[in-house]
């Protein structure tokens, strides 16, 4: 029996349990740092399969490390599981109308229920493959919550849990099937607290020092800063305390949250330092005091170019999921839920990825039924960020994308939440598990390739991972 056939057999034996796991996590729909039921469900499956569990790693209650050694225990093979949902994206499964689940506000609009269950499937397949073939390795599943919040992987990396892992494969739900060379940008976020002096805004305004004025001036300064930063950078903000609701009171306290993004950690840190200077200037202009606390930071992510071709080889051996007529009909139905502007954007996106002649037929059967080739020389970045970036600065890491939703489906949408509990999503999840398992077996048998992949990481991080978070920043449990 070929390696691929054996992996497929093991996956077939486990797919029903894993599909149920994915659906259970979808039903739980737990937000960042509160994924207790999701974490417990995953750990129950892994314990049943013979994995040892260390809970609460890096001082995060919903994080864990599951390990199982076979033979000599080398190499160390890592998988990343995510399982957090998004606020405001409650949606009934497969419903082609925006319909919330009664009593629930959160939903898996990024498909992390599929992501977490799919990597568990891959880990089980690799573990049982090694046992049946009497080969060596330690399979490691990292339970990494809060990717949609302040993250967890950077804290886990800072605590040293990824040290000694020989390589890591993960995946993410998408609308395409590919191993992408496109990177994700670094990000840093902080709360800026301004303190002034309260006073009557009508009778004694001269005695007041407005914290809200300081926040407003910080926003003005940051808006002027936007002209003087690189095109790929981003600045985001949101008020968390606007100083109260009484206009006749000079507000003594106000807080605003800022996040900055840039393609590289160094660029992000430089831009953040300029934001801090703007905040200092705003405080000086208003005679207020300013303190800031960094709440989150992710390093940039680029797929390990040594591992990428191995993952692509496994993807091409398996190919895209096999879609049914019902799958195509469901995906087509969701296209009718988008307005004219969104549909124009979808068509423009498809024109960039496919031949112009195929757009009409793609919109009739809007599921990706092929695979894209991997470009190891890609140097573009998506404007989104992920804490997988910090993992990639410690251990060789590569990421697979699988089409779990119809072409053009926006991330973080109610449509994507519905797809995440559909046969389309589950079928793609199973295929992702097969591909990750096959790539892991291929890699485990190539010690020289693993060595080269590690050298690539050293070149990237300068010989040592440095967490972008200061040491004093702890996981913001119940604070983010």
Distance CA 320, CA 15 (A): 17
In a domain, 480, yes or no: no
Residue entry with tokens 């010690």: 447
pLDDT greater than 80 at residue 402: yes
Q: How confident is the model at residue 357 (pLDDT cuts 50, 70, 90)?
A: confident
User: What average pLDDT does the chain have?
Assistant: 96
Q: Are residues 144 and 205 in the same domain?
A: no
Please tell me whether residue 210 adopts helix, strand or coil conformation. coil
The domain total for the chain is 2
Q: Are residues 350 and 289 in the same domain?
A: no
In a domain, 470, yes or no: no
In a domain, 478, yes or no: no
Q: Are residues 138 and 225 in the same domain?
A: no
Q: Are residues 289 and 308 in the same domain?
A: no
- Over residues 213-243, the pLDDT tens digits come to 999 999 999 999 999 999 999 999 999 999 9
pLDDT greater than 80 at residue 468: yes
Distance CA 446, CA 453 (A): 11
CA 2 remoteness from chain centre? 33
> Strand (E) positions, 119-166?
137-143
Q: Are residues 275 and 323 in the same domain?
A: no
Q: Are residues 78 and 97 in the same domain?
A: yes
Burial 119-146 (b: 16+ CB within 10 A, else e): bbbbbbbbbbbbeeeeeebbbbbbbbbb
Q: Are residues 190 and 177 in the same domain?
A: no
Give every CB contact of residue 103 below 8 A, 6+ residues apart in sequence.
none
Provide the residue range defining the domain that includes 29: 3-184+300-461
Work out whether the CA dihedral 225, 231, 235, 236 comes out positive or negative: positive
Distance CA 174, CA 254 (A): 39
CATH of the domain at 237: 3.30.70.360
Token pair listed for 354: 């496919």
In a domain, 24, yes or no: yes
Radius of gyration of the CA atoms of the chain, in A = 24
Percent of the chain residues past pLDDT 90, beyond the cut: 93
Distance CA 63, CA 34 (A): 10
Q: Are residues 32 and 143 in the same domain?
A: yes
CATH of the domain at 150: 3.40.630.10
Distance CA 298, CA 290 (A): 24
Last residue of a domain, one of 255, 273, 297: 297
In a domain, 290, yes or no: yes
Q: How confident is the model at residue 96 (pLDDT cuts 50, 70, 90)?
A: very high
Q: Are residues 251 and 347 in the same domain?
A: no
Q: Are residues 414 and 352 in the same domain?
A: yes
Q: Are residues 436 and 346 in the same domain?
A: yes
Q: Are residues 208 and 339 in the same domain?
A: no
Binning the chain into helix, strand and coil, the percentages to the nearest 5 are: 45, 20, 40
Distance CA 301, CA 244 (A): 39
């Amino acid at each position: 029996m070929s390696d691929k056939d054996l992996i497929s057999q093991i996956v077939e034996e486990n797919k029903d349990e894993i599909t149920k796991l994915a659906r259970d996590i979808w039903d739980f729909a737990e937000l960042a740092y509160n994924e207790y039921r999701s974490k417990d469900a995953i750990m129950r499956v892994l314990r049943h399969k013979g994995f040892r569990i260390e809970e609460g790693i890096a001082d995060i209650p919903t994080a864990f490390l599951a390990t199982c050694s076979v033979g000599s225990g080398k190499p160390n093979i890592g998988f990343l599981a995510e399982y957090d949902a998004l606020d405001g994206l409650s949606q009934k499964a497969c419903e082609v109308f925006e319909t919330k689940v009664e009593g629930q506000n959160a939903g898996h609009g990024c498909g992390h229920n599929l992501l977490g269950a799919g990597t568990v499937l891959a880990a089980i397949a690799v573990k049982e493959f090694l046992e049946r073939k009497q080969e060596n390795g330690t399979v490691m599943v990292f339970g990494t919550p809060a990717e949609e919040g302040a993250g967890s992987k950077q804290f886990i990396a800072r605590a040293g849990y990824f040290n000694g892992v020989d390589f890591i494969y993960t995946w993410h739900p998408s609308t395409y099937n590919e191993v992408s060379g496109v990177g994700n940008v670094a990000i840093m976020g902080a709360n800026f607290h301004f303190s002034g002096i309260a006073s009557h805004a009508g009778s004694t305004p001269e005695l007041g020092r407005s914290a809200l004025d300081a926040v407003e001036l910080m926003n003005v300064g940051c808006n002027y800063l936007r002209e003087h930063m690189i095109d790929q950078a981003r600045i985001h903000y949101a008020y968390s305390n606007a100083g109260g609701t009484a206009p006749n009171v000079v507000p003594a306290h106000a807080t605003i949250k800022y996040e900055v993004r840039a393609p590289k950690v160094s660029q992000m840190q430089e831009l953040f330092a300029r934001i801090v200077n703007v905040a200092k200037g705003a405080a000086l202009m208003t005679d207020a005091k300013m303190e800031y606390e960094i709440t989150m930071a992710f390093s940039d992510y680029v797929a390990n170019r040594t591992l990428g071709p191995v993952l692509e080889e496994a993807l091409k051996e398996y190919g895209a999921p096999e879609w049914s007529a019902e799958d195509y009909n469901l995906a087509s139905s969701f296209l009718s839920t988008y307005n004219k502007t969104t549909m124009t954007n979808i068509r423009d996106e498809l024109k960039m990825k496919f031949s112009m002649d195929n757009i009409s037929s793609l919109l009739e059967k809007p599921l990706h039924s092929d695979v894209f080739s991997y470009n190891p020389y890609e140097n573009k970045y998506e404007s989104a960020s992920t804490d997988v970036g910090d993992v990639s600065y410690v251990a060789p890491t590569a990421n697979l994308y699988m089409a779990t939703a119809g072409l053009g489906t926006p991330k973080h949408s109610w449509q994507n939440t519905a797809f995440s509990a559909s046969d389309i999503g589950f079928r793609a999840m199973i295929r992702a598990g097969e591909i990750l398992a096959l790539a892991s077996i291929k890699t485990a048998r190539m010690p020289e390739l693993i060595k080269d992949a590690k050298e690539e990481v050293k070149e990237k991080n300068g010989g040592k991972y440095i967490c972008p978070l200061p040491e004093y920043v702890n996981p913001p449990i119940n604070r983010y």
